[in-house]
Every structure is written in C-alpha cells, then in structure tokens.
Amino acid sequence: MLVLWLALLLLDRAEGLSASPLSWLRVGPPESATATTSSAWPPPRRGAALVYDPSTKHLVLFGGTGANGALADVWAYDIGTRVWQQISTFSSSEQPEPRHTFVYGLYLNDTQPAPVPPRRSLIVSTGQGAQVFSDTWALDLDTWAWRRLPDNGDAPPTLYGSAGGIVPLLPGRPGVPRLWLSHGFSLKTRYSKTWVYDLRAESWSVVHGSINSYDPMKPHARCIVSSTVTADEQIVMYGGCAQNGGTGGQCPARDTWRFDTPVAPGKRYARANVTASLQGSGAWHQASSCPTPRTRGAMAPLASPAELRMTGGRYVMLYGGFETDKQTISVSAAPDDQLPVLDLDSGLWLMLRAGGQVPAFRAQAAVAHDLATGRVWVFGGQLRDGGAISADLYMLQGDPAVTPPHSVGCGSSMLFPYLHGLFMGLGWGVLLQAGWFIARYFKAHDPRWFHLHRACQITGLVLSIVGLALVMSGGVKANNLGFSHGAIGLTTMGLGLLQPINAFFRPHKGAKWRTQWEWLHLWSGRSAVLLGAANVSLGTFLLQGPAAVWIAWHSLLGCFVVACVVMEVRLQRALRLARTAPPTAAHEDGSDMDTTIGSSKAGGSGKWRRGSKEAELPRLVVGAGGAVAEPAGP
C-alpha cells in the first residue's frame, strides 16, 4: 500500500516536473455527437469561474453567460475519470444570482488546526447578470453549500470586469485568506480603487484609493481587464477598456500592470505572509507592452520546473481576449499558437509558441491552474469576431523556460485615439500655436504675417475638427465628455470655431464694434491656444501610451514656451522704449502704440519702428498681449 502510494506520488511529481515545451491538449467535449459518452457536458459559456481542487483532483465550474444569458450552475469534472457532474448546490437561505465576468479564486480554509483537514471554497465576488453585483459568496467544495459572505467594512460598489483573485495554492503552504479586487465598472462609472476581502475577518478594506486619470505612473480606471494573482501575492492586470464611464483612454488597452499588495513580501519567491496586516498601501508598477490590445482576456500564473515549482510561479500567461473594440482601426491578430507569457522577474513579455492541439483564439475563457504540476485548464469562451460561444475544455502543460519563441513577435495596432492625438497635436499643439505666435511677434512683416496667421489657424482648425471626429468615431459617448480632457476639449473647440465665424463678421477698422471685436478675437484666441496646449498635455497622460509620446510633446511645448518668453521680453523692451521715446510725426495719437516691430533688428538695437505700410496699419491693441490686425488694403 505504501509502495503504491509512493509510486503514485513519484508519478505525479514526474508529470509535473517534465521540462517539455508548453503544449495544448484538447480534453473535450467529444468531437462527434455519436461518440459514446454517458457523461454530460456543461453548456457553452464565457466569463465563468473555473478552479482546480488538488485534494480531490476535480475542476469546479460556476456561472458565466451562455446562449440564454447568465448562469448560476455548478459542475465538477473528475480529472481521473474524465466525467462532468452537475452539482445540486444548496443553501440555508439564498444562492448567488446568475452572473459572469466576476472575480474568483480557490480558498484553502485552514482556520481549524490540524488534524482537521482544511476546507476548500470557491470564492466569487461581484459580476454582471440581471444587474451588476457587489456581493461575495463562498461555495464549500465538500458540502456544496453556498454562503453569502458579509459585506462588512469598506465594501466595493456594484462592479464587473474587475481584476483580482486569490493567491494560487501551493503544496505545503497554508491558505492565504484574502481575495483581491481592483478596478471594474458599475454601468455608470469606471473604477481604479483596489480592495481586499479578509476571508477570516470577513470584512473589506480599501488598500489603494482612486487613481487620477492623468497620473502616468498608475493604471487608470478601466474594466473587462485580464488579470490574475501571483504566488507572491501581486495582482497582474493587462489591457481592458478605459473609455466612457466618466473617463477616456484606450479601449482595448495594451498596458501591463503589477500591484505589489501591502502583504507582498517584495522579494521574489518569498512566501506570501498569511497573517500579514493589511495596513499600508500597495504600489502599482508598469511592465512592458507587447501583446495585442485586449479586453476580456484570461490570465494564469505559470511555473517553470527549473526554478523549483514549490516556490511559486515566475511567469504569468495571457490567454485570448477580444482584440478589437469600437476604437480599433486595425490590429495584427495574434496567431492561435502564440502564447504571451510575462516574466515577472524582468517585467518583459515572452511571445512563446505553444504547440499541440491548439485552441482557436477566444475571449473570456475560464482558467484554472495548478502550480504544483504546471497545468492550466481553459473552459469555454467566445471565438473571434463575435463567433460561437464554446464549451471546449483544453489543458496546457509544459515549461515556459524551454518553450520556443513564436515567429510573430509583438502585436501592432491602430486605434482612433492615436489618430485623434496626432491630429489634435498637429492642430492645437503646433499650427494654432504657431499662428498665434506669428500674429503676436511678426506683425512687422505685413501683410505676410496675416496670410501665414490665417493659413495656420485655418489648417489647425480643420485638423482639430478631424481630430474630434476621429475620437467620436472611436465610440465616445456624448454624455461621457464631463471629465477634464473632454470638457476642456469641447470648450477649446468652441472657442476655436468662434474665430472663423467672428472673422467673417469682422467690422472694418474704425467701424462701430471694432474695438469690441478685436478684444473678443484676441481673448478667445488666446484662451483657446492656452487651453489647447494644456489639453494636449492632458491627452498624452490620459492615453497612457508610450512615454515617448508625452516626452516628445512636452519637449516641444518647452521649446515653444522658451521661444515665447524670449520674444515677449524683446517685445516688452521695445514697447517700453517706445513709450519713453518722443513720439514721431507719425504718432498722431500718443496712446496708440504699435507692436509692429522689426523683430530681428529692433530687439537687439533697442529701437522699434513701424512696418513699412505704417500709414495703412490698423489700430493695434497692445498691452497685456498680442495685437489684432488685418492686412492693409482691401
């Protein structure tokens, strides 16, 4: 008996420690309907929960959404006999409502000291169904009893599409009594907070507050992310949707984030501290970008036998997702056999090629993992381009460290917001600024300055109208422009569009309302240029794209500000000199000063002079800012 047991143990280990490349195996359902199978198979679904219970060698499946909407059924799959069984769960009071796209994990409840064997529970929190939920449930995997866990403490609002989960089980390690929950959507608002549920105290607390949408160092509010929790108790989160719901951003996004929870030991492979206090805030760190943009992908920790599996995984795999959303113009679809794996040590993505019976690319598959054997199971999901919802069960096994790279590397994508940024950057960031600059400092070159000014402003405005159209085609809801970048953008566009309209109604110089018109033109133009530049800055932060984008823009802005300061100093000096100099014969009205300065000569020599067509120049408004004028002549 003991020999048999030892043999089985060794066999199990050998299975787990095989250092072969990652490879897929299709487990079921049987391909043909005529195949003799007495066993039932769970109906197709996406967004379900799937956990592997090593003590019974069963997979447990809950919920998701199928052909007829959200589900609340529970199934157990015996790895040995390859048989599914639908479980009749029970509860003394209520059971969870049908739902999908929630956060879940397996909790090893060893509250009772040995020799009482630990209990295992499937924990499910939040999700979407007939409504969006905020409740948390525990399903006891021995008694199949549901229990609603109390929402004590600082509980999350109704949410779905959040990141989080529970630390993976490792042999010989006590259960970690914490469920992590971060980000998510409540149908109205996208969130960026991070919560933890203490499964012993049965109470929530907030470990990271809301993140400012313009903070480049932290993941902005988003939902339908891909996520998992690592053996070191870090939350890993990929992509998701950051547009609408009171914010802007990429949808689908392609940024990778790691949250070092307050209890994460900070040292790789150190064991998560079961009794650690939840006080203190964790920190978000960004890793590299490489896979295609995705919403609703699945993530799971992976381990390499080479670095002793018992210490936990160094890798996190990303499986499937929707690569396109309303913002997508084009994307290089990821090959089915490409498996992006994040190396947590380097923060770099490895784009590996997983062979075997490769499943067709799909979104919202439910994933279960067993770090002890390095296996990952994938159930269901929806095929590409709104394809069929699946009931397939696949298993992935192997060593990421010996898996060859895929010939296709990082994905490429073009989204409407990228083009929006390009057009707005050229419009409000370059041309409209240049047009203002010319009007303010180059009036001496009359009438060339005016033609240049007009050409810049018209081109800049046209580009920015296209920029607005581009971002609206990316699925921005009109009622979602209340956030800073949206509101400032609309105001700036309004001010910008006022300019050609009021240029059309421009009264002739000396005519009634001319002074008022000049004032309006000057100040609406200036405000638009200032707000426009500020909004380009906000946009580069909001987009959360590559750092190169905002570094490039802010360098350009810096050069422009320096140029403005230099020109302004020269202009003011010239004006001061003009005020103290005796009025020339041309000055019929001493209070009427002119900004038309020979920019290159006057500043240096301390002299100022009028433009060549002095007598025909309009009255110019001088003082706090640039002048408004129109070319001499008809």
Ligand X SMILES: *[C@@H]1O[C@H](CO)[C@@H](O)[C@H](O)[C@H]1NC(C)=O
Among 4-12, 269-277, 489-497, 540-548, the segment contacting ligand X (CB under 6 A): 269-277
**Shortest gap between Cβ of 119 and ligand X (angstroms)?**
5
- The closest alpha carbon to 156, from 189, 124, 188, 193, belongs to 193
Nearer to ligand X, 206 or 276 (CB): 276
Least Å from the CB of residue 166 to ligand X: 11
Shortest distance, position 115 Cβ to ligand X, whole Å: 13
265 vs 475 by CB, closer to ligand X: 265
Q: Is 138 in the site for ligand X (CB under 6 A)?
A: yes
Query: Nearer to ligand X by C-beta: 277 or 580?
Result: 277
- Cβ 110 to ligand X shortest distance, Å: 8
- Taken in order 179, 184, 186, 187, the sign of the CA dihedral is negative
Q: Smallest Cα–Cα separation from 124: which of 142, 155, 103?
A: 103
Q: Which is nearer to ligand X, 141 or 557 (CB)?
A: 141
Based on CB atoms, which residue is closest to ligand X, 199 or 461? 199
Which amino acid, residue 361? F
**What is d(CA 553, CA 429) in angstroms, rounded to the nearest whole number?**
8
Pick between residue 20 and residue 273 the one whose CB is nearest to ligand X. Answer: 273
**Cα separation of 425 and 463, whole Å?**
9
Site for ligand X in 578-597 (CB under 6 A): none
> At closest approach, how far in Å is the CB of 92 from ligand X?
13
Give every strand in the sheet of 178-185, ordered side by side.
152-153, 203-208, 190-198, 178-185, 163-165
Which residues in 91-130 contact ligand X (CB under 6 A)?
109, 111-112, 119, 121
The least CB distance from residue 84 to ligand X, in Å, is 24
Distance from the first to the final alpha carbon of the chain:
108
What mask, x for binding ligand X by CB under 6 A, covers residues 178 to 217?
---------------------x------------------
Asked whether position 276 contacts ligand X by CB under 6 A, the answer is yes
**Binding residue for ligand X, selected from 32, 36, 275, 580, defined by CB under 6 A:** 275
The smaller minimum CB distance to ligand X, of residues 274 and 329, is found at: 274
Contacts of 439 (CB under 8 A, 6+ apart): 449, 450, 453, 525, 626, 627, 628, 629
Cβ 369 to ligand X shortest distance, Å: 21
Query: What are the CB-based long-range contacts (under 8 Å, 24+) for 274-280?
Result: 274/174, 274/175, 274/176, 274/177, 278/178, 278/196, 278/198, 278/205, 278/207
Residue 167 sits in the site that holds ligand X (CB under 6 A): no
Nearer to ligand X, 124 or 597 (CB): 124
Structure tokens at 108: 């090893």
Shortest spacing between CB 277 and ligand X, in angstroms: 4
Q: How many residues bind ligand X, per CB under 6 A?
A: 11
Phi, psi of 259 (to 5 degrees): -105, 115
Give the number of C-alpha atoms closer than 13 A to the C-alpha of residue 295, restricted to the C-beta side: 21
Alpha helices (runs of H) in 141-256, residue ranges in sequence order = none
Comparison of 103 and 318: residue with beta carbon closer to ligand X: 103
Strands 119-129 and 328-331: unpaired
Give 214 or 269: the residue with its C-beta nearer to ligand X: 269
Distances (CA, A) of 632 to 107, 510, 571, 615: 81, 13, 22, 9
To ligand X, the closest distance from the beta carbon of 207 in angstroms equals 13
Beta carbon nearer to ligand X, 119 or 443: 119
C-alpha span between 631 and 262 (Å, rounded)? 66
Binds ligand X by CB under 6 A, chosen from 38, 93, 277, 591: 277
Q: Least distance from C-beta 70 to ligand X, angstroms?
A: 24
Q: Which is nearer to ligand X, 86 or 273 (CB)?
A: 273
In this structure, are residues 586 and 592 in contact, taking their beta carbons and an 8 Å threshold? no
Of residues 372-431, those binding ligand X (CB under 6 A): none
Q: Which stretch binds ligand X (CB under 6 A): 163-171, 220-228, 272-280, 376-384?
A: 272-280
Please tell me whether residue 448 adopts helix, strand or coil conformation. helix
d(CA 148, CA 135): 7
- Applying CB under 6 A, the span of 45-53, 268-276, 307-315, 592-600 interacting with ligand X comes to 268-276
Report long-range pairs for 545-553 (Cβ below 8 Å, ≥24 apart): 545/250, 545/418, 545/421, 546/289, 547/216, 549/421, 550/216, 553/425, 553/429
Site for ligand X in 487-526 (CB under 6 A): none
- Backbone conformation region of residue 94, classed left if phi is above 0, alpha if psi is from -120 to 50, else beta: beta
Between CA 132 and CA 157 the distance in angstroms is 9
CB of 199 to ligand X, least distance (A): 5
Name the minimum Å distance from CB 201 to ligand X: 10
Q: Which residues bind ligand X (CB under 6 A)?
A: 109, 111-112, 119, 121, 138, 199, 273, 275-277
